[in-house]
Amino acid sequence: MDKITVNLEKRSYQILFGQDVLSVIGTICSDLKLGSSVAVITNPTVAALYYEPVRAALVQAGFTVYKVEIPDGEEYKNIETLKEIYSRLIDCGLDRGSFIVALGGGVVGDVAGFAAATYLRGIPFVQVPTTLLAQVDSSVGGKTGINHEKGKNLIGAFYQPVSVLVDVATLDTLPEREFLSGMAEVVKYGVAMDGGLFDFIHDNADRLLARDKESLLTVIKRSCALKGEIVAQDEMETGLRAVLNYGHTFGHAVETLTGYREYTHGEAVAIGMARAARVSERMGHSGKSETERIIALLETLGLPTRLPSFDAAAYRDALLRDKKVRDRGLNFVFNRGIGDFHIGRVTDIEALLEAAGIGE
């Protein structure tokens, strides 16, 4: 099994990668010396596919295992679900010698991680991400939390897992749209941070789309290594970590304008990256050929790149929803060619919209 370490001094942890990782979760948790009882937090979709092997491996290693199921869907990433989780953990008698396993995509990982951060003032948790997005992004870096009715991810904590177990075989069952959504985040790392990764995705697009395990392991490991390096330098997002939001400025605007219903997060980020590439070109950080290569790769992967048609005023409002942004401008992540980035403050929102080709 391959390993990458996220270096955070006493809170450092390993990300383990392989094709049959679920079957060894018991041994891995034993080696981490995590106490004797574990709550596996998951949802019905993932549980039907992967709970049994996880439970069996944990029981075989001597753990007492409790299943905690939460409903499937972003709309359940909320305070009610969190309360249900706390009640179940209390009813199962989980004490400070217990730990949590988050088995599922980013929704399960974010909620379960926040439950771990807050239950009994914090118990350890292990991330077992089962979507591509969770394997390359959300399971690493310790952002945990829930949504509030007034906005996404408004309640949360930075709380690092004690380990992340990436079993690439779980991607076999992932619906195509969810898989492609994760690929958008992989492209993000390539464009903003690693030209070699970008070229690998380009040269192996067919294999990746066919979910070839070796090719997937290559891009997942590289993505996690890049994210791990950023998190090690800027855990609390005081500056550098913002690079992970490449493509997200216009992506979030698209999600807001379409009410989070029309596009998956990755699709919105793909559209946002196509715009960010154009803005970077127009503002002198990149060239036309790079913009064309970025958009062509997204299209090869079957991801959308065209903005949904709302007028410029709607996009301006979506970008300026936050009062802080209205007063002081926004931090924008530019790609410098392919494989490097620049984070700059943009105060002239009209110029940004124009550079993005909005309202032309």
Residue number of the CB closest to ligand GLY reads: 244
Calpha distance 331→252 (Å, rounded): 14
CA-closest candidate to residue 355, choices 294, 289, 275, 254: 275
Is 248 a residue of the active site?
A: yes
Give the nearer residue to ligand NAD in terms of CB position, either 117 or 358.
117
- Span interacting with ligand GLY, options 59-67, 214-222, 237-245, 315-323, rule CB under 6 A: 237-245
Is 185 a residue of the active site?
A: yes
Is 77 a residue of the active site?
A: no
Residue 174: which of ligand NAD, ligand GLY, none does it interact with, CB under 5 to 8 A by kind?
ligand NAD
**Range 120-154 burial, b when 16+ CB lie within 10 A, else e:** eeebbbbbbbbbbbbbbbbbbbbbbbbbeeeeeee
Calpha distance 289→17 (Å, rounded): 35
- Span interacting with ligand GLY, options 23-31, 125-133, 136-144, 174-182, rule CB under 6 A: 136-144
How close are the terminal C-alpha atoms of the chain, in Å?
51
Residue 241: which of ligand GLY, ligand NAD, none does it interact with, CB under 5 to 8 A by kind?
ligand GLY
- In this chain, which of 98, 138, 163, 291 binds ligand NAD, going by CB under 6 A? 138
Is 147 a residue of the active site?
A: no
Is 321 a residue of the active site?
A: no
Of 241, 278, 285, 293, catalytic: 241
Residues in region 238-277 near ligand GLY by CB under 6 A: 241, 244
Calpha distance 78→16 (Å, rounded): 29
β-pairing, 64-69 vs 37-42, is parallel
Q: Count the helix, strand and coil residues of the chain and give each as a percent rounded to the nearest 5.
A: 55, 20, 25
Residue number of the CB closest to ligand NAD reads: 106
- The nearest distance, CB 145 to ligand GLY, in angstroms, is 11
- The nearest distance, CB 207 to ligand NAD, in angstroms, is 19
* Contact present, 248 and 272 (Cβ < 8 Å): yes
Residue 170: which of ligand NAD, ligand GLY, none does it interact with, CB under 5 to 8 A by kind?
ligand NAD
Question: Does 184 participate in binding ligand GLY (rule CB under 6 A)?
Answer: no
* Contact present, 271 and 310 (Cβ < 8 Å): no
Is 227 a residue of the active site?
A: yes
Strand ranges in the chain using DSSP code E only, listed in sequence order: 2-6, 13-18, 37-42, 64-69, 98-104, 125-129, 143-148, 151-158, 163-167, 330-335, 341-346
Residues in region 171-190 near ligand NAD by CB under 6 A: 173-174, 178, 181
* Contact present, 237 and 333 (Cβ < 8 Å): no
Give the nearer residue to ligand GLY in terms of CB position, either 65 or 244.
244
Residues in region 319-338 near ligand NAD by CB under 6 A: none
Residue 335 CA, chain-centre distance (Å), reads: 20
CA-closest candidate to residue 140, choices 163, 171, 170: 163
Calpha distance 44→39 (Å, rounded): 15
Residues in region 244-303 near ligand NAD by CB under 6 A: 265
Question: Does 143 participate in binding ligand GLY (rule CB under 6 A)?
Answer: yes
Give the nearer residue to ligand NAD in terms of CB position, either 221 or 265.
265
Give the nearer residue to ligand NAD in terms of CB position, either 146 or 352.
146
Question: Does 49 participate in binding ligand NAD (rule CB under 6 A)?
Answer: yes
**Residues recognised as catalytic:** 121, 143, 185, 227, 237, 241, 245, 248, 252, 265
Residues that bind ligand NAD (CB under 6 A): 43, 45-46, 49, 72, 74, 77, 104-108, 110, 130-131, 133-134, 137-138, 141, 143, 153, 170, 173-174, 178, 181, 265
